[in-house]
Amino acid sequence: MCGIVGYIGNEEKKEILLDGLQELEYRGYDSAGIAIIENEKLNYFKAIGKLQNLRDKTKDYQSSGFGVSIGHTRWATHGKPTELNAHPHLGKFSFVVHNGIIENYQELKTQLQEEGVHFLSQTDTETIVHLFEYYYSQNSDSFNSFSKTIDRLHGAYATLLISESSPDTIFFAKNGSPMLIGFDGDDIYFASSDTPIIGRATEVYYLEDGEYGYAKNGEVKLFDKNGEKSFSTKPLATDKAMAQKDGYRFFMEKEIYEQSLVMSDTMIGRVLEDRIDFEELDSELFEGVTNIKICACGTSYHSALTGSYLLERVAKIPCQVEIASEFRYKEPLLRDDTLFITISQSGETADTLEALKMAKREGLKSLSICNVDNSSIVRESDRAILTRAGIEKGVASTKAFATQTMVLWMLTLYIAKLQKTISQDRLDIELDAMRHTPKALLVTDKLHSKLTRLSKRYLHGHGFFFIGRDLFFPLALEGALKLKEISYLHAEGYPSGEMKHGPIALADSELFTIALMPKSLHYEKIKSNVEELSARDATILAISPEPFELADDFVQTIYDTHPMLEFFEMMVVTQLLALEVSVRLGNDVDMPRNLAKSVTVE
């Protein structure tokens, strides 16, 4: 996730860009940059780290009078967060900003290099500006060169380009990443979301995938694959707080809905035709490794547990999972043939960070799976895989859990291939299922309204048991954690086969059982466990693709062939249930009592 802002007009452009980027900083803050053309001359500034660094760098620069301008705040995907990798990227006479991932950039880059083009950065984005200038060198027509460039791009992009070849124009294109155009008289704005332009523009047009064009002389020309098209604007919202949530009631709700999209970001460039590739990893990290230990807290611990099932089952590598706060003081015996993995959304969790330092002192190799680049845990680790979930604001973690779990699934296949513990046929089946994950994460109106209706029956009682087996046991733990965090109701996650060893004593009609009953993994076994609870009058909410006649309430899921697709689909159901119960109880969904987003104390 990155953020983009653009502006054409007579106002002070630097301020418009910096204020706009401030609103988008939640989308990434590895680096930021702006480029402005005024009086037919290009100026640009870039700074790594938070936007304040760019503000400091530009404090003596002024840009009033007519001009065109673009700005960007970055969340690194290709290449480290350095100034060279910061946007805008420059060619000889043009600048580009981009949000998304150009999947075929390597192929384009090689072609351009063969033409003698010199690249400065490690980013996929830089190919756009060089490709534009390459075509311009052939035809001297800016818009034609831009259209040809867009035609060559595969993947997701929202992009703005300015060039001394057309100093009064901003070229734009969108496919798979968000972008809108704001209007106020002759002034034209571009942004990744509403908030940067609220209070400035009055009308807005939300670009559709496949649209591109240019803005000039107070007018926008819009095209798609069928040629030029007309469009109509609508009034821009005036409530900034609402706009930050993209119209959702809560950040948690927005983040649940975002999961499908961010999951694609997590996979782009990593899920290839016949294998998994991590540019962050190489075989050297796994040399001599015969064992994996994963350490994490809270939700990240639950994704770690899920990963341990996958790593042992599919990659055939022994894997133990530890809660970081326990690990630190148990005087663990560590062997140097163990790869030490930490998982953390924030990368700042004190217990996880200290566990990592302990493992490093013992000479273990380390890998972190994290959502925040440059965080303490990332910096401390030998290698890091970023989950690319984008900033998560809701204290109750949702999309971070989904993307952590996906990274662990991908890592499992990566290691399995490396250690030759998987056949190509099985790998192909896993990759195919993986590609379906964004679909399994989509929230339909039907599903959401069903859970809104159901939630009113689950506001009391003496407790919730989320139960599941195998991979669905960690999901049960996570479902229970979500509910208790934001509803303040008591909930436990339990392996369903373990209920009869004690907890079933609690069963009565006021004990709510949320039963995760996937079709593709031990269905008959789970069914028996749920029947035992039903026989003791427990109230059952069954989540399954298979109708279950003893259920008091039933949410039917769609996927039934691959456990991970069932996993992700059921995960969304448990998240929505927690959300709607919390809303009905009138709790603060995004900032529940007693909790903090980042736990930097032990």
Q: Which of 77, 159, 397, 582 binds ligand M6R (CB under 6 A)?
A: 397
Q: Which of 63, 169, 345, 403 binds ligand M6R (CB under 6 A)?
A: 345
CA dihedral 105, 399, 70, 10 (to 10 degrees): 160
Interface stretch with ligand M6R, choices 152-160, 390-398, 503-511, 550-558 (CB under 6 A): 390-398
CB of 478 to ligand M6R, least distance (A): 8
Q: Measured at CB, which residue is nearest to ligand M6R?
A: 298
Residues 6+ apart with CB under 8 A from 80: 122
Interface stretch with ligand M6R, choices 135-143, 204-212, 292-300, 378-386 (CB under 6 A): 292-300
Q: Is 125 in the site for ligand M6R (CB under 6 A)?
A: no
What is the torsional sign of CA 184, 187, 193, 195? negative
**Could you say which residues in the range 463-482 bind ligand M6R, by CB under 6 A?**
481
Which residue, 8 or 481, has its beta carbon nearer to ligand M6R? 481
Q: Is 396 in the site for ligand M6R (CB under 6 A)?
A: yes
| DSSP letters spanning 76-144 | -SSS-S-TTTSSSEE-SSEEEEEEEEETTHHHHHHHHHHTTPPP-SS-STHHHHHHHHHHHHHH--HHH
CB of 345 to ligand M6R, least distance (A): 3
Work out the number of other CB atoms within 10 angstroms of the CB of residue 261. Answer: 19
CB of 333 to ligand M6R, least distance (A): 24
Is 245 catalytic? The answer is no
Which residue, 109 or 484, has its beta carbon nearer to ligand M6R? 484
Interface stretch with ligand M6R, choices 13-21, 59-67, 297-305, 531-539 (CB under 6 A): 297-305
| x-marked contacts with ligand M6R along 480-499 as a string, rule CB under 6 A | -x---x--------------
Q: Is 47 in the site for ligand M6R (CB under 6 A)?
A: no
Calculate helix-pair angle for 563-584, 399-418, nearest 10 degrees.
Answer: 170
| DSSP letters spanning 22-75 | HHHGGG--SEEEEEEEETTEEEEEEEESSHHHHHHHTTT----SSEEEEEEEE-
Burial of 577 (0-12, 13-18, 19+ CB in 10 A): buried
Interface stretch with ligand M6R, choices 129-137, 313-321, 393-401, 552-560 (CB under 6 A): 393-401
CB of 465 to ligand M6R, least distance (A): 19
Q: Is 298 in the site for ligand M6R (CB under 6 A)?
A: yes
Which residue, 35 or 396, has its beta carbon nearer to ligand M6R? 396
**Could you say which residues in the range 201-240 bind ligand M6R, by CB under 6 A?**
none
Q: What are phi and psi of 183, to 5 degrees?
A: -130, 140
Q: Is 599 in the site for ligand M6R (CB under 6 A)?
A: yes
Q: Which of 85, 127, 300, 376 binds ligand M6R (CB under 6 A)?
A: 300
CB of 94 to ligand M6R, least distance (A): 40
Q: Which of 159, 169, 259, 344 binds ligand M6R (CB under 6 A)?
A: 344
Q: Is 297 in the site for ligand M6R (CB under 6 A)?
A: yes
CB of 505 to ligand M6R, least distance (A): 28
In the sheet that 211-216 helps form, which strands lie side by side, from edge to edge? 89-90, 94-102, 155-163, 166-175, 211-216, 219-224, 227-229
Which residue, 22 or 342, has its beta carbon nearer to ligand M6R? 342
Q: Where are the alpha helices (DSSP H) in 441-562?
A: 445-455, 472-487, 523-535
Strands 3-9 and 31-38: unpaired
Q: Which of 57, 80, 519, 597 is catalytic?
A: 597
* Rounded distance between C-alpha atoms, residue 495 and residue 176, angstroms: 39
Interface stretch with ligand M6R, choices 42-50, 205-213, 250-258, 592-600 (CB under 6 A): 592-600
Strands 67-74 and 31-38: antiparallel
Burial of 532 (0-12, 13-18, 19+ CB in 10 A): middle
Which residue, 384 or 481, has its beta carbon nearer to ligand M6R? 481
* Rounded distance between C-alpha atoms, residue 301 and residue 432, angstroms: 27
Q: Is 368 in the site for ligand M6R (CB under 6 A)?
A: no
Q: Where are the alpha helices (DSSP H) in 158-250?
A: 240-244
Q: Is 375 in the site for ligand M6R (CB under 6 A)?
A: no
Is 297 catalytic? The answer is no
* Rounded distance between C-alpha atoms, residue 254 and residue 389, angstroms: 12
Interface stretch with ligand M6R, choices 100-108, 174-182, 573-581, 593-601 (CB under 6 A): 593-601
* Rounded distance between C-alpha atoms, residue 12 and residue 36, angstroms: 11
Q: Is 582 in the site for ligand M6R (CB under 6 A)?
A: no
What is the torsional sign of CA 321, 471, 411, 178? negative
Q: Which of 2, 295, 297, 319 is catalytic?
A: 2
Q: Which of 69, 127, 264, 349 binds ligand M6R (CB under 6 A)?
A: 349
CB of 300 to ligand M6R, least distance (A): 4
What does DSSP assign to residue 197? G
* Rounded distance between C-alpha atoms, residue 308 and residue 431, angstroms: 19
CB of 228 to ligand M6R, least distance (A): 48
Q: Is 352 in the site for ligand M6R (CB under 6 A)?
A: yes
Q: Is 259 in the site for ligand M6R (CB under 6 A)?
A: no
Residues near ligand M6R (CB under 6 A), total: 17
Q: Is 294 in the site for ligand M6R (CB under 6 A)?
A: no
Q: Is 574 in the site for ligand M6R (CB under 6 A)?
A: no
Active-site residues, by number, are 2, 597
Q: Which residues bind ligand M6R (CB under 6 A)?
A: 297-300, 344-346, 349, 352, 395-397, 481, 485, 595, 598-599
